[in-house]
Amino acid sequence: MSILVNKDTRLIVQGITGREGEFHTRQMVDYGTNVVAGVTPGKGGGWVAGIPVFDTVQEAVHATEANASIIYVPARFAPDAILEAADAGIELVVCITEGIPVLDMIKVRAWLDCLPTRLIGPNCPGLITPGEAKVGIMPGHIHTPGPVGVVSRSGTLTYEVVYALTQKGLGQSTAIGIGGDPINGTDFIDVLRLFEEDRQTEQVVLIGEIGGTDEQRAADFIAHNMSKRVTAFIAGQTAPPGKRMGHAGAIIEGGEGTAAEKIAAFEAVGVQVARHPEEIAELVQRQV
């Protein structure tokens, strides 16, 4: 899917001099992503893995015409990093960081809604257009280019599914992790809309989990707006109510957000729901 990230992506890494930032910069560069700059306030003028480091996102954009940014910055500083990137005119900001306070994200998202910047995440693995650009922490080698769009709230569960798809020769157009937080920058409907418009994507895999109503609203969107087939999987059928299952957004509250209600919502609109992750690839294969 060349709408979000592709060969033309010029990527800034915010937090490039940190341990995570540096490690993943090298991984992304190895994959072939065009990483053009790094930003760490106070470390401008330095270099990491052959990438020039700047003090501010504004300077980095000015010097390199960067159009995307990925953030590996601790939770207490991440909202500021997102806002800085948006203010510098970055069109796509991917925030990997887990642990950002919800009230911070309410403000950040409300602010970004008035700007052209699209945020992916936070608390997400990023996104990858196989063969073109990896903007995230996913293992590149399990992906391969192809016609299946993948969108997920999870990290390793997404890799599990992608791995099974690749093994069956079902490549991915783009695989996007929207993250596990209750308030994020991009939801299922946002991505489904892009997949529906993307010529390379022929069918879609959606991986959801307990908590919130994103999947239920997506089911309604699919029924009214999508011609392409969607296959789903929902994690957390055995999750108890009221307990946070790792992800801040993975919690059944007031009886709402159960896996059962999400599965029912999808089945009601004709979306097949796999019983376990490996079954997704089988269901997708039957549709090809």
Binding site for other proteins (CB under 8 A): 23, 75-76, 99-104, 106-107, 109-110, 137-139, 142, 152-160, 163, 180, 182-183, 207, 209-210, 212-214, 217, 233, 235-240, 243-250, 254-255, 259, 275-278
User: DSSP string of 154-190?
Assistant: -SHHHHHHHHHHHHTT--EEEEEE--S-SS-S--HHH
Query: Is the CB of 61 or the CB of 178 nearer to other proteins?
Result: 178
Cβ 288 to other proteins shortest distance, Å = 21
Structure tokens at 22: 């540096």
Of 99 and 270, the one with the shorter C-beta distance to other proteins is 99
Asked if residue 71 lies in contact with residue 18, where contact means CB atoms within 8 angstroms, the answer is no
Whole-angstrom distance, CA of residue 67 vs CA of residue 12:
8
Taking the complex as a whole, how short is the minimal distance between the CB of residue 239 and other proteins, in angstroms?
A: 6
Residues 6+ apart with CB under 8 A from 5: 68, 92, 127, 128, 129, 132, 133, 135, 174
Those residues whose C-beta lies under 8 Å from the C-beta of residue 10, and which sit 6 or more positions away, are 34, 36, 64, 65, 66, 67, 68
Q: Which is nearer to other proteins, 60 or 138 (CB)?
A: 138
**Least distance in Å: CB of 116 to other proteins?**
18
Whichever of 53 and 273 has its CB closer to other proteins, that residue is 273
Provide the β-strand partners of residue 118: 92
Is residue 60 a contact partner of residue 54, using CB atoms and an 8 Å limit? Answer: yes
- Which residue, 237 or 285, has its beta carbon nearer to other proteins? 237
- Min dist CB 223 to other proteins, Å, is 18
Q: What are phi and psi of 235, to 5 degrees?
A: -90, 140
Residue 201 Cβ vs other proteins, minimum distance, rounded to whole Å: 22
Annotated catalytic residue within 62, 143, 247, 276 = 247
The angle at the Cα of 89, spanning 88 to 91, to the nearest 5 degrees, equals 135
Active site residue 143: no
Q: Which residues are catalytic?
A: 247
